[in-house]
């Protein structure tokens, strides 16, 4: 069986812990690979390589850094299909969706190519007589990234290209469930000329994560994953004196007003709820139907849901693939059962789906639950699967109150033809990313991505200008080239003249 190892100092390094995790093909349910879990010593070796590489990478010219980034973008472009195939093989999402993930990750490499423009400092001349002030931003040193299973290429690319462009060196701990795509990203970075040790990968579990959080030579940590782990990462990283951004889970609401185009809204609800089997942190998991829209909208969503083609991600006719593991599939299915017991109407029940010739795959059909009580587990928890809840609200005010009472605040969307209502929603809703007739408002690479409340712990959103701010620290330099007349003793606090 193939073992996925670490990538340290620009080359593969075999794990020595004797501890391994399984990597499944979710479409067949078969374990096809295993992943070596890092020891503390292996994490230390990766950090040591990153620290040594920082000596020269941290001061490498912008020309040298961007030469690498442009070359890297070319290589990624040439290997899109290969990266997407690895994602499909280990995550299960359909190939076209995996290609979309690669493209969205490459946006950050493209942003990173513009780093000379982005890192231009500020200069004020003659703030006082013969005194100038310059503000510059410098890299932090060794940065760590810890990433989730659901975007095995894109989320690592939200982090390391920008961190490296800013002059840092990086240690990535990818999800142990689907690590091969990010491993290929590191190999391609090497081929593009990235010096050894600038980008390292340690495979692993809590042992590796905890060591990265405690390591004195790790200056900052970027994390994306579930809310309980995000909270833990933030607290532990702060305890060890590190800068941290920890993006957590979500429960994204899509508000549909009575004046919306309901066919368009139903199409978008289907795409956003069931794409990638609902395993997206920006998936729509709750539709809030306002006024008398509910019956017609639920009918339209149900009609579409029943026609979806579910099958292996390698089959071009599949629109949705399997879930990540058998346990996760069963847990997601249990929410459909519990919702029925807790008062919801099960309009479409996908729990009985069997996919021909793939009976052992981790497939689950799509489910649609209507009139879900806000006390039901299916409403209260992040399900992270192909289950869409519909909640009815009498008025816009009731709907916004419901959305704003959620503990999460990642993405949200409003569907309407009324510009005034949309404008009110933008200003009133408590979430980090808002769509107007756009169900999954993931910002483009040159804006930043992040949620509010339990969806993000830390002060910075990820990528875009916030990403650059996160991966650099400010320095302000006040300069004087004195004239002979500038001397003299004055014990007062410096003031300007
Ligand atoms: P997860 O929190 O289980 O795992 C994320 C990472 O943390 C993995 O690398 C994992 O190995 C590590 N980890 C897990 N348990 C740990 C522990 N006890 N101690 C230390 N490290 C640990 O998340 P997941 O299941 O891989 O991903 C799905 C979750 O990620 C969902 O909640 C989803 O909403 C969230 N997510 C959020 C965003 C966002 O941008 N806000 C994006 C993608 C995914």
Rounded mean pLDDT, 160-183: 98
Nearest alpha carbon, ligand 1 atom 32: 226
**Cα within 13 Å of Cα(348), Cβ side:** 25
Nearest alpha carbon, ligand 1 atom 43: 281
User: pLDDT, tens digit, for every residue of 332-351?
Assistant: 999 999 999 999 999 999 99
For residue 316 the two structure tokens come to 């071009």
Question: Do the Cβ atoms of 174 and 21 come closer than 8 Å?
Answer: no
Rounded mean pLDDT, 32-52: 98
Residue 496 confidence (pLDDT) above 80: no
> For residues 328 and 349, what is the distance between their CA atoms, to the nearest angstrom?
17
What mean pLDDT value characterizes the chain? 97
Res. 486 pLDDT band, cuts 50 70 90: confident
Instruction: Report, as residue numbers or ranges, the catalytic residues.
Output: 281
Res. 325 pLDDT band, cuts 50 70 90: very high
Instruction: Say what the alpha-carbon torsion angle 264, 269, 274, 279 is, to the nearest 10 degrees.
Output: 130
Rounded mean pLDDT, 274-290: 98
pLDDT of residue 485: 87
Nearest alpha carbon, ligand 1 atom 19: 206
Res. 495 pLDDT band, cuts 50 70 90: confident
> What residue ranges do the domains of the chain occupy?
2-248+455-477, 252-436
Cα of 419 vs centre of ligand 1, distance in Å, is 37
Q: Which of 149, 229, 246, 448 to mutate to test the pocket of ligand 1 (most atoms within 8 A of CB)?
A: 229
Residues of the chain with pLDDT > 70: what percent? 100
For residue 362 the two structure tokens come to 């981790």
> For residues 323 and 306, what is the distance between their CA atoms, to the nearest angstrom?
18
Say which CATH topology domain 2-248+455-477 has.
Aldehyde Dehydrogenase; Chain A, domain 1 (3.40.605)
Rounded mean pLDDT, 2-18: 97
> For residues 231 and 203, what is the distance between their CA atoms, to the nearest angstrom?
21
pLDDT of residue 35: 98
pLDDT of residue 134: 98
CATH architecture observed for domain 252-436: 3-Layer(aba) Sandwich (3.40)
For residue 247 the two structure tokens come to 């993006």
User: pLDDT, tens digit, for every residue of 347-392?
Assistant: 999 999 999 999 999 999 999 999 999 999 999 999 999 999 999 9
Which residue matches tokens 């692993």?
204
Residues of the chain with pLDDT > 90: what percent? 98
Which residue matches tokens 């979500």?
250
Res. 487 pLDDT band, cuts 50 70 90: confident
For residue 272 the two structure tokens come to 């956003």
pLDDT of residue 417: 98
> For 347, left (φ over 0), alpha (ψ -120 to 50), or beta?
alpha
Rounded mean pLDDT, 219-236: 98
User: pLDDT, tens digit, for every residue of 74-108?
Assistant: 999 999 999 999 999 999 999 999 999 999 999 99
Q: Can you say how many angstroms the Cα of residue 307 is from the centroid of all Cα atoms in its chain? A: 30
> For residues 223 and 225, what is the distance between their CA atoms, to the nearest angstrom?
7
Question: Do the Cβ atoms of 92 and 104 come closer than 8 Å?
Answer: no
User: pLDDT, tens digit, for every residue of 176-204?
Assistant: 999 999 999 999 999 999 999 999 999 99
> For residues 208 and 203, what is the distance between their CA atoms, to the nearest angstrom?
8
DSSP 8-state symbol, 290? E
Q: Is 6 helix (H, G, I), strand (E, B) or coil?
A: strand
pLDDT of residue 494: 81
Question: Do the Cβ atoms of 130 and 483 come closer than 8 Å?
Answer: yes
Residue 497 confidence (pLDDT) above 80: no
What is the position in ligand 1's atom list of the atom closest to the CA of 328? 25
pLDDT of residue 401: 98
Question: Which residues have C-beta within 8 Å of that of residue 317, sequence separation ≥ 6?
Answer: 309, 311
């Amino acid at each position: 069986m193939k073992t996925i190892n670490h990538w340290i100092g620009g080359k593969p390094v075999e794990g020595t812990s004797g501890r391994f995790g399984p990597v499944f093909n979710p479409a067949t349910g078969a374990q096809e690979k295993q992943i070596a879990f890092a020891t503390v010593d292996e994490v230390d070796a990766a950090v040591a390589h990153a620290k040594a590489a920082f000596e020269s990478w941290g001061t490498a010219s912008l020309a040298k850094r961007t030469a690498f980034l442009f070359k890297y973008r070319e290589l990624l472009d040439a290997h899109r299909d290969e990266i997407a195939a690895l994602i499909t093989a280990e995550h299960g999402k359909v190939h076209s969706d995996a290609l979309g993930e690669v493209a969205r990750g490459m946006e950050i490499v493209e942003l990173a190519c513009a780093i000379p423009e982005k890192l231009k400092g500020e200069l004020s001349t003659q703030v006082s007589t013969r005194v100038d002030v310059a503000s510059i931003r410098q890299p932090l040193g060794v940065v760590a990234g810890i990433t989730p299973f659901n975007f095995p290429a894109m989320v690592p690319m939200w982090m390391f290209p920008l961190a490296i462009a800013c002059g840092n060196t990086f240690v990535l701990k990818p999800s142990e469930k689907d690590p091969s795509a990010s491993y290929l990203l590191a190999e391609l970075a090497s081929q593009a000329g990235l010096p050894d040790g600038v980008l390292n990968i340690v495979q692993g579990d809590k042992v590796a994560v905890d060591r990265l959080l405690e390591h004195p030579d790790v200056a900052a940590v970027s994390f994306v994953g579930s809310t309980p782990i995000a909270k833990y990462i933030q607290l532990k990283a702060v305890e060890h004196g590190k800068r941290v951004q920890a993006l957590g889970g979500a429960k994204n609401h899509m508000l549909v007003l009575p004046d919306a185009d309901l066919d368009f809204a139903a199409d978008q609800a289907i795409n956003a709820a069931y794409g990638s089997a609902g395993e997206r942190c920006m998936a729509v998991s709750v539709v809030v139907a306002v006024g008398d829209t509910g019956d017609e909208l639920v009918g339209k969503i149900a009609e579409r849901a029943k026609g979806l083609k579910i099958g292996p991600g390698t089959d071009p006719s599949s629109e949705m693939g399997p879930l990540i593991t058998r346990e996760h599939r069963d847990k997601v299915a249990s929410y459909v059962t519990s919702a029925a017991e807790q008062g919801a109407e099960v309009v479409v029940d996908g729990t009985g789906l069997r996919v021909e010739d793939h009976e052992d795959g981790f497939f689950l059909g799509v489910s649609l639950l209507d009139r879900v009580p806000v006390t039901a587990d299916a409403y209260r928890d992040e399900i992270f699967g192909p289950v869409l809840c519909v909640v009815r609200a009498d008025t816009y005010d009731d709907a916004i109150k419901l959305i704003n009472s959620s503990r999460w605040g990642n993405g949200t969307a409003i569907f309407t033809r009324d510009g005034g209502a949309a404008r009110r929603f933008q200003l009133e809703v408590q979430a980090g990313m808002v769509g107007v007739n756009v169900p999954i408002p993931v910002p483009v690479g040159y804006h930043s991505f992040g949620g509010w409340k339990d969806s993000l712990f830390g002060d910075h959103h990820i990528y875009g200008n916030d990403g650059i701010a996160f991966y650099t620290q400010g320095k302000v330099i006040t300069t004087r080239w004195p004239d002979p007349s500038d001397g003299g003793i004055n014990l007062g606090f410096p003031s300007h003249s």
